[in-house]
Amino acid sequence: MNPPVLSVRDLRVWYGTARGAVRAVDGVSFDLTPGETLGLVGESGCGKSTLGRGLMGLLPEGTAIDGEIHYEDRDLLALPPKQQRSVRGPDIAMIFQEPMTRLDPLMRIDDHFAETLKTHEPDLSAQEIRTRSLEALGGMGIPPTRFRQYPHEFSGGMRQRIMIALALVLRPRVVIADEPTTALDVLVEAQILGILADLRRNFDTALLLITHNLGIVAEACDRVAVMYAGRIVEEGSSRDVFREPQHPYTQALLGSIISLSTTELRSIPGAPPDLSMPPPGCRFHPRCDQAMVVCADREPIEERPLPGRRVSCWRYGPDEEIPPGGTEPLVREEIAVADEA
């Protein structure tokens, strides 16, 4: 195993609201090695995008963040703000979803690239900026004749490729892609995934792919981390997780996938919890058809039931931490009461 280029430990992000602190990310840990793609999946509102923005230091005012984000040998959260900003772009870059909201409609495409390069590499000449920009765009299939056009003159797929080129023009070692194929048709989606795969092969770039599309994860990711209510509940290789999911939430997610053999639609009952007042015990227990008595009372302890896998579920113990009677099934009426509480 290569040493991780990005190592996250016990990361927590809170949003301050009138109702109290919203724990959008609550104790997340993972490693990302060079040339690897880690897929981060989960329902909307589980904290995926907040995690990505927290890694980049792009959180709004009134947000608190704690934990450790190690890039190479530096803890980014321990650095002064100016040094944190110097890492953003040249070392860790982000591809945002909905590129039309990220590209300034009053700026031509060449101005976007010039602004990015001048900010991080002020000694570059105008010719060097143009050369680097056109190389990045060319790698995305954007011809030089489009260099002076405005964002509204491009299709959605081309705008997304421009966003990827903007992220890559600084040659980062880590790329965080937040729903990079949202609202794109399947042909453009395949092109974007091909570009990201080439990026890994050619430059050994590490990729954190944030998505709710499990098909993309199965196709493009080496490992997958399943997130629920601000926490990672299962992690392992994509092949192993799809073949033999361990956590009930992962099983329910995979069970909801539609395929050519689907004869009936399946869904997960209920809704994700309010992260300002998460339920006690396991946060998934109000919706879990495998919940036990202990699940409603105690937070699960992370276990490793199989090599290369980690799961936070009381179904895997540890047995010595489960009180007498804790493995009894939690009946549906008790689940409803716990949900209301």
C-beta separation of 230 from 24 below 8 A: yes
CA 127, 129, 134, 135 torsion-angle sign: positive
Domains of the chain, residue spans: 101-159
pLDDT value at residue 127: 96
Range 54-67 burial, b when 16+ CB lie within 10 A, else e? bbbbebeeebebeb
Residue 205 has pLDDT above 70, yes or no: yes
C-beta separation of 41 from 211 below 8 A: yes
Show the DSSP H helices in 258-301 as ranges.
Answer: none
Residue 241 has pLDDT above 80, yes or no: yes
C-beta separation of 108 from 150 below 8 A: yes
Distances (CA, A) of 82 to 57, 78, 308: 11, 12, 37
Residue 335 has pLDDT above 70, yes or no: no
Higher pLDDT, 189 or 307: 307
pTM equals: 0.91
pLDDT value at residue 85: 86
pLDDT value at residue 337: 44
pLDDT value at residue 334: 46
pLDDT tens digits for range 207-225: 999 998 898 899 899 999 9
CA pair distance 73, 7, nearest whole angstrom:
10
pLDDT tens digits for range 75-117: 999 999 888 888 988 899 998 877 667 789 999 999 999 999 9
C-beta separation of 57 from 85 below 8 A: yes
pLDDT value at residue 332: 58
For helices 156-168 and 109-120, angle between their N-to-C axes, nearest 10 degrees: 20
Residue 308 has pLDDT above 60, yes or no: yes
Higher pLDDT, 149 or 333: 149
pLDDT value at residue 340: 47
pLDDT tens digits for range 266-302: 889 999 999 999 999 999 999 999 999 999 999 999 9
